[in-house]
Each structure stands twice: as C-alpha cells, then as structure tokens.
Amino acid sequence: MKKILFSISVITVVLAGCKKLDQEPQATASKSAVFGNEKGLQLYVASFYNNLPSGNDVVRADAMSDYGARTDVPGFLTANGFTPLQSSGWSWSPLRNINYFIENCTDPAVPVGVRQNYIAIARFFRALFYFDKVQRFGDVPWYGKTIDIADSATLYKARDPRALVMDSVLADLDFAASNITATDPTRSMITKYVALAYKSRICLFEGTFRKYHGGTGGLTSAIASTADQWLQQAVAAADKVMAEGGFKLNTANGTDLSYRQLFISKQPVTTEVILSNVADATLNVLNDANWYWTSATYGSRLSFTRTFVNTYLNTDGTPFTATAGYQTKVFADEVKNRDKRLQQTIRAGNYKRINGGALEAAPPVFSYTYTGYQPIKWCLDDVYFDGGTRNDNSISLIRYAEVLLNYAEAKAELGTFTDADWAKTIGALRARAGITGGLTTRPTQVDTYLQTNYFPGITDPSLLEIRRERGIELAWEGLRFADLLRWKRGDLLIQPWNGFYVPALNVPMDLNEDGKNDVLFYSGTAPAAIAGVTFINVSATLSNGSVNPQRLSGGNSGEITWLNNAVRKWEDKKYLYPIPTADLLINPKLGQNPGW
C-alpha cells in the first residue's frame, strides 16, 4: 500500500481525525476543497486504509490458536486472568471518519459515478469495521451516520441486535461490490473483487456461527435459522471471484516453492493475492516477521503442535496417521513424503538460510521453538532480517486460496458440494501442494484421527477434509481463532502442547540428515558438551525445585510436551469478549455479554 502513504499523511492534515463519536470533525480546509473534486475524494478515502491490518498485525495474529504452542498461556485462556477490566476493542474513532465522508460525498461538481466509487470504498471499510466489532462483541450499536454532540440519546443508546448490524454489513458489502470501479494490478487497493472476497469470508463466518451457535452466544433460534442464507451469500460472492476475477493459484516454480513464494515475495504474487500490505524500504514501511519468529525473547516463540502436524497428508493423499508406526517416527522421517506445504511452512528437510553470504543448513533451533516444529512461513531466508524491523516481504491480507476454501466450505455446509466443486477447490489446492491422490473425487470415508482430535461432531467426510485443508493452507495467516469461534470449537485452544518424538535420552539427533547432530535431550546431569548440539533438559524438576515445563511424554522417551503443567481453561462465554468495564461505566445501557 506504499503508493497511498503520502495521501494518508496529507488527508490527516486536511481533516483531523475525530477520536470519539461525540466529537465534531475539525477541518483545516473547506468541504468543497475536499469533496468538490476527485483528488480530494481520493485523498480522504486513502485515510481509511489505516484501518487495515499492518504486516505485523497479520504475522502475529495466530498467537492464540489451537495449533500453536507458545512461551506462555494467554491471559484469555487462564481461569481468572481475563475480565472485563482487561477487555479492549471498544474503539469507534474510525467509524465517524467513514460516516462523515459518506454523508458529505454529495458535491455535484464530481460526476455521480465517481462519487459512487468512493462511497462504495468507504462502505467497504464500514463493513469491515462492523464485522470486527460483531465478531468480537456480538450485539453492538449501529451508527449509519455521524452523531451530533448534543444527541446524547443516540450516543448512549443500547446495543442493536446482531441481526440488524450484520444485515447492514451485508448491504454495505453489496453496495461496494456493485459500485467500486477502481482497479489495481498492484493488489494494494480496494477493488470490486476485494469486496467480494471479503464478503465470502464474512458471510461464511456469519453463516457457520449462526449454524453452530443456535441459542447460544447471544443468538436466538430465529437468528440461527437464517444460517443458510448467509452461506448462500458466501457461495455467490466466492463464485463471482472465481468466475470473473481472473485469479488463480500460484504454481510458479513447482510444488516445492510455489506456496512459500506467496509469503516471502517483495511484491505480491498478483495471480493469487487479492489484497496485500506492501512493504517499501525507501518509505520505511517494513515488518518484523523474522525478528518475531526467530527471537528467543521478542516474539511468542510460536511452534506447531504435533497433533496438528499429523493432519498433513502423505503425498499420495492418504492420512499420515494411517501409516504404521507414525506415533514413533522421528522428526527427520516424519517430514518425508508429506504434503509439500509442510516443508514450506516449518524448518524441515534440506531447508537452508543465508548467513553472511553463505548458504547454511538450518534445522529447527530449540532457542526459538518448544516443539521442534519451527515456522518459516513469513520469514525471509537470510539471517540479516532476524534482528529488528527489516522485512520487506509483502503480507497478504486475503488471497484466492481462501476464496476457494470459503466456497467449498459454504457449499458443504449447505449440502450442495459436488465432485466438480471438490476438484476446482480442495483438489486444486492439494495438487499445488504436490499431493497426487484423491484430487477429483470427494472422499467417502471419515478420517478418524481428524474427527477424534478436532471435530467429533462432524460426520461428513468432505466437510472434515475441507476443515483440514483450511487449517493447513491458511496456517499462521490470522484466521484460526475466528474459525474456532464460528465452529464452536473454542475448547481446542486448551489442547496439550506437544512436539516431535524423542526415542531416547542422551542420544544426539540429526534433524535434517546432513550428518551433523543438532539436539540432545537429557534428564538429571547433562552429558559432556558436543560441538554444535543444543542440550535440552527434560527432567521432571529443575535445579531450583520448580516444575520443568518441557518434558517427554514417556519420561525417558516420547513426544516433547511444553507447559502442560500450566492450567488453561475454556468457557463458552469466551465466544464473545466482554464489554470493557470503562465503556460500560460510561454507558450502562450497553449491558454485559452473557457470563461476564
């Protein structure tokens, strides 16, 4: 989004942003100077882009997910560590800026079609603003216009029903998709197909949330009964992107590199990426993905759990967990002949990095990972980027692969998913990942491992596989928590954090089969040091008498376990965040969400 950065700074001067709903906009230029010509509209609308996630927002967004072990237990998942006092997100400052623009974009000096384009972009951003609020809090007050400072009745009104707000969100998205005429080959601006892609995401969320939360989460049975209408809207939006958008899955450089290329390229891979946060070193618009993912202290040291890694299929399309002896396969063996996305998502196999100009083997490093499954998805392959905000890779916000998954899941939930649908969605994604079997025909048998460990209530083999595919394809892209919420599977957030299998203590392990040992696990007194080998103490207690958070499941062998001595707790009230205490004190009519 580099080309709009200057515009954003200019409009910030032209129209100072209002901080609260009850403040009137302060202008340093006349309305006609802004609303009386297209350049003024363009500058104003540029300010809305500040509301999109930054690159850093995206690469951190799965810090609370079921597949990620991390340094500590999030306060949200502790028994008493999260209350309305800690809640946040009840911020409304972007909304008035948007509504003010919509109300005042009426100057006849600008052609109607031009005005409609910019109003449509503004309504797209309003839809995103409100979707975020509903996803977090459920019922929220709908404000479709600016509020006069004297209108205390409106300013301090009660929350509007979720159904009303989401119907308004849908109306905004439809208006955006019908009226945006702007095009953008750089994938950094809002276009018609961006609006449709987001519509597929939002409608899928709302449809499945209503389906699986009927009578709970603040939903009445009447609202839940409308789930299919939202799923149909998701299908229609995704289908339009698929049929008209000109996008396709990136397959350049083959199955070994095409997936990873999407996340490390400087410029968005425009064949697949629909909207991106584009970095620019000359404008100091960078992200710190490498620092976050390769620091022992700066980030959360997020690592995949073995339970999730087990869901990656074999390259022939069969479940890895159907392989005899999969439970005791060591890391170097379990990553072989698997879905090619695995080795493009974690350090595995012959993964290498540049260090001082030299290409070096880079196995998992246990000062960065707790489980052995160390992510590389957003990390550039040069250690230069590991310290500070240096990354210049573009960060995708939504891409065509997700649209395919939204289409497939919505159709499966509706019961209209066909073999042809499978082939052009799940089959296509798996073909890009180097999987050779089961690409054209829907599965007929349930994978019991996936069902037992993740979705015991799902008996449709196709829907199970779609959920598997969504988890793998979109891992670390910031969508997993929302998926668990809408599926009503928040309890997955308290799954044990497990890592790769260790066959014995005091035996060095070569994780990437380059002939050099990398790690050794011991209990009690450490053996003599070995050059290049990291020693990991898995004793039950540490020398200071405290419980060791990193152990082996079988004591002297087994899966690595991490922080399973710390209590994590899920309660269904957490499907919605509480209204922050400070905001509830200002406006008691808001009421509190159930259970909080």
Check residue 26 and give its pLDDT: 46
Number of helical (H) and strand (E) elements in the chain, helices listed first: 22, 13
**CA pair distance 10, 33, nearest whole angstrom:** 13
Could you read off the pLDDT of 420-435 as tens digits, one per residue?
999 999 999 999 999 9
% of the chain beyond a pLDDT of 70: 94
Long-range contacts (CB closer than 8 Å, 24 or more residues apart) made by 33-39: 35/104, 35/105, 35/106, 35/107, 35/110, 36/107, 36/109, 36/110, 37/109, 37/110, 38/110, 38/114
pLDDT tens for residues 88-128? 999 999 999 999 999 999 999 999 999 999 999 999 999 99
Q: Side-chain half-sphere of 53: how many Cα atoms within 13 Å?
A: 19
DSSP 328: G
Phi, psi at 200, each rounded to 5°: -65, -40
Q: What is the pLDDT of residue 218?
A: 58
pLDDT tens by residue, 451-505: 999 999 999 999 999 999 999 999 999 999 999 999 999 999 999 999 999 999 9
Look at residue 29 in the predicted model and tell me its pLDDT.
Answer: 63
The token duo for 537 is 């103490």
Sign of CA dihedral 290, 296, 298, 304: positive
C-beta neighbour count of 295 within 10 angstroms: 16
| Rounded-to-integer distance, Cα 298 and Cα 316, Å | 39
Question: Left, alpha or beta for 443 (phi > 0: left; psi -120 to 50: alpha)?
Answer: beta
Give pLDDT < 50 ranges for the chain: 2-27
Q: Which DSSP string corresponds to 497-564?
A: -EEEEE--TT--B-SS-SS---EEEESSS-----TT-EEEE--SB-TTSPBPSEEETTSSSEEEEEST
Task: Name the residue among 264, 266, 294 with its Cα closest to residue 386.
Answer: 294
At 106 the three-state DSSP class reads: coil
- Token readout for 241 is 């992107």
The pLDDT score that the predictor gives to residue 9 is 40
pLDDT for 79 equals 86
State the pLDDT at residue 24.
39
Strands in 224-376 per DSSP E: 273-277, 303-304, 352-355, 358-361
Tokens encoding 101: 């623009």
Helix (H) / strand (E) containing 396: strand 395-399
- Which neighbouring-strand residues pair with 341? none
3-state secondary structure of 415: coil
Q: pLDDT value at position 23?
A: 43
Nearest to 57 by CA among 305, 295, 277, 377: 277
Element (H, E) at 398: strand 395-399
The domains of the chain, with CATH numbers, are 2-65+90-244 (1.25.40.390), 277-301+314-392 (no CATH)
Half-sphere exposure of 293 (CA within 13 A, CB side): 32
This prediction has a pTM of 0.94
Residues 592 and 596: their CA atoms lie apart, in Å, by 7
DSSP letter at 114? H
E strands in 11-83: 15-16, 26-27, 68-69
Distance CA(190)–CA(183), nearest Å, equals 8
- pLDDT value for 10: 39
- Centroid of chain to Cα 420: 28
Q: Cβ of 150: how many Cβ atoms within 10 Å? A: 9
Element at 202 (helix H, strand E): helix 192-212
Count of all residues that appear for the chain in the document: 596
CA torsion angle for 492, 497, 502, 506 (degrees, to 10)? -170
Nearest to residue 234, comparing CAs of 119, 402, 120? 402
**Please, which residues have CB within 8 angstroms of residue 436's CB and are 6 or more apart in sequence?**
315, 316, 317
Q: What is the pLDDT of residue 259?
A: 98
CA–CA gap between residue 388 and residue 292 (Å, rounded): 9
What tens digit of pLDDT does each residue of 219-273 get?
A: 777 788 899 999 999 999 999 999 999 999 999 999 999 999 999 999 999 999 9
User: What are the φ/ψ torsions at residue 429 (nearest 5 degrees)?
Assistant: -65, -40
Structure confidence at residue 214 (pLDDT): 83
Is residue 287 within 8 Å of residue 55, measured between CB atoms? yes
